[in-house]
Amino acid sequence: MAGADRHDGPVELDGSEGEGGGQMLRSALSLSLITGRPFHMTRVRAHREPPGLRPQHLACVRGAEAISGGRSEGAAVGSSELRFEPEPVRPGDYVIEVGTAGSTPLLFQCLFYPLALAGGGSLTLRGGTHLPHSPSYHYVVGVWLPVTRAYGLHTSLRLMQAGFYPEGAGEFFAEVEPVRDPPSRVELPARGTLRDISVGSFVGGLPFSIAERQSRAAVAALRERGIYSHAENRPLPTTRSAGSVTFILAQFENTLAGFTALGERGRPAEEVGREAAEDLARFMESGGALDEHLGDQILLPAALLAAGKLGPASPGTTRYTTERVTEHLTTHARLIERFLPVRVTVEPGGAVEVVPA
């Protein structure tokens, strides 16, 4: 239950450790809400330019305050230091504005776990839905969502408006359910046999021919490597935002993997399709069961399972292999261990284990 570990005291965090980006702040907010432990972070986003809080990170702080009644100090654009004091998360329905270029999927991933553990509710999030350096809405639906379901965490998503960089102006709705039926363990050592590859090509506020060119290029690039796929082109609803995206979903016997490429002004549509195909081809050459992004994102539900936060589940162990060990992954692992009684082991070859401490 969120807020159950308040007596364990505040957590001191150095935001310059490891990859030193915004993920440390988002995960710290999520874990603070879940455990009830306040935190103090210095040198926030020290390795980014510009460093400190940006509007999209401030939106995560405001979102954490909104669902819990928590309090913060230092929550201002440019601030390099933040204190956050959570209160128990309140089930309910929330509407949160992220801003023009802020990522709604990243905010959603920050707030989803605390809200689910508190009993559920709904989130209407407004801002960017398909942005650089962020999981796309389609990645969240196609890859992240099925994995969280494996942990007994359920939500349904609906895209109201797509929001592309730099205008944003997107919106999606999430119905978050209470936790139910957690597994006793999750084992994903190998992806298994390839079963299907689908190429999704989407445009919002642009000629539909761009979507067709993107998908043709992606399918052709995969075929050149002996990988066969099928494609679907669709328009996305938008307001003042315009853009395009190619999302490739690979379904294996045991796992899923997703690869996103975004269009940008002056960039040929064919290049966008080829980029997503090349990312998939590189993944196929690796031995990992999970793509590098999911290999990082699965850590949090795995840690909640190991810590008993999802309910009684013995031994509560997660084991998997990831495409690539990134600094993002190792930094995230160390942060989680500061909040929860778990041990995360990351081997150089990509094997990851999350167990009770």
Give the residue numbers marked as catalytic.
Answer: 328
CB 61 within 8 A of CB 67: no
Under 8 Å between Cβ of 282 and 259: no
The whole-angstrom separation of Cα 105 and Cα 282 is 25
Residue 180 CA to residue 307 CA, distance in Å, equals 16
Choose among 3, 354, 357: nearest CA to 183. Answer: 354
Per the DSSP assignment, residues forming a β-bridge with 199 are: 231, 248
Query: What is the Cα Rg of the chain in Å?
Result: 20
